[in-house]
Chains A and B, each alone.
With several copies, the nearest count.
Chain A
Amino acid sequence: MTKLLYFGRLSDITGSAEETLTLPQDVSTAGELRAYLDLRFEAGGALLEPTVRIAVNNELCFDDMSLAGAEEIAFMPPVGGG
């Protein structure tokens, strides 16, 4: 089970800021997870935008990052500052 977090405007699309999910067998990288979730939420590409960064266990990563050992995965749209 992996904890998924959707920040800022993404939670308007996903309907919640947080969920716990068992990753599908064919999702092994951050990029594959983006694609899977974008379809699942019918997000129309909102989760695929390069400005939406992914953090795995509190570290920003690229799309080819393996999700092995991922406990918490965050989808972070551009930050708005304080």
Chain B
Amino acid sequence: MLQLSEMPLRASELIKALEKRSAGAGGLVTFTGQVRPEAKSGSVSSLFLQAYSPMTENGIESAIAEAQCRWPLTAVSVAHRIGEMLPGDTIVFVGTASAHRRAAFEAADFLMDYLKTEAIFWKRESTSSGTNWIEPRAEDYSDASRWTEHK
């Protein structure tokens, strides 16, 4: 289940919905990412996230399908905030449910790597020293490349 939202995301509600859909799965892993208050260029006043529908959704749906193909998952939830947001706001929520603990961990990790590097989003940060568009960090690319080695 995928949701792009201009409204605030609440991890507590998203985990509750996932629990309902995965009843009896055994294990459930979530990742919640929040807007950081500090950036390289100073303290963050706001963050703007731009998507390109339906390419953004299609790309994330493909990553979810790949995760479901690689790991035995009983439910997946991806929610991503778009538009204008503030430090501390939840920007992304990923949840995976599986009878196998390891599968749930790896699938959540895999989806986050996709979302941090390949997902179609453009990000503009406003800090005390101005406004800039941000491109992926080298660290994010190397995390994502872990998954292609096993292909």
Contact = CB atoms under 8 A, between A and B. Distances in A.
In the complex they form, whether A and B have CB atoms below 8 Å apart is answered with yes
Interface of A: 5, 7-9, 12, 17, 55, 58, 74, 76-82
Interface of B: 33, 49-50, 52, 54-55, 58, 80, 91-92, 115-124, 133-136, 140
A44 to B, nearest CB: 17
A58 B116 contact: no
Contacts of B134: 80
Residue of A5, A17, A55, A79 with most partner-chain B CB within 10 A = A79
A80 B136 contact: yes
26 contacts: A5-B52, A7-B52, A8-B50, A8-B124, A8-B133, A12-B133, A55-B52, A58-B55, A74-B55, A76-B120, A78-B135, A78-B136, A79-B118, A79-B119, A79-B121, A79-B135, A79-B136, A80-B121, A80-B122, A80-B134, A80-B135, A81-B118, A81-B121, A81-B136, A82-B49, A82-B80
Contacts of B117: 79, 81
A17 B133 CA distance: 14
Contacts of B122: 7-9, 77, 79-80
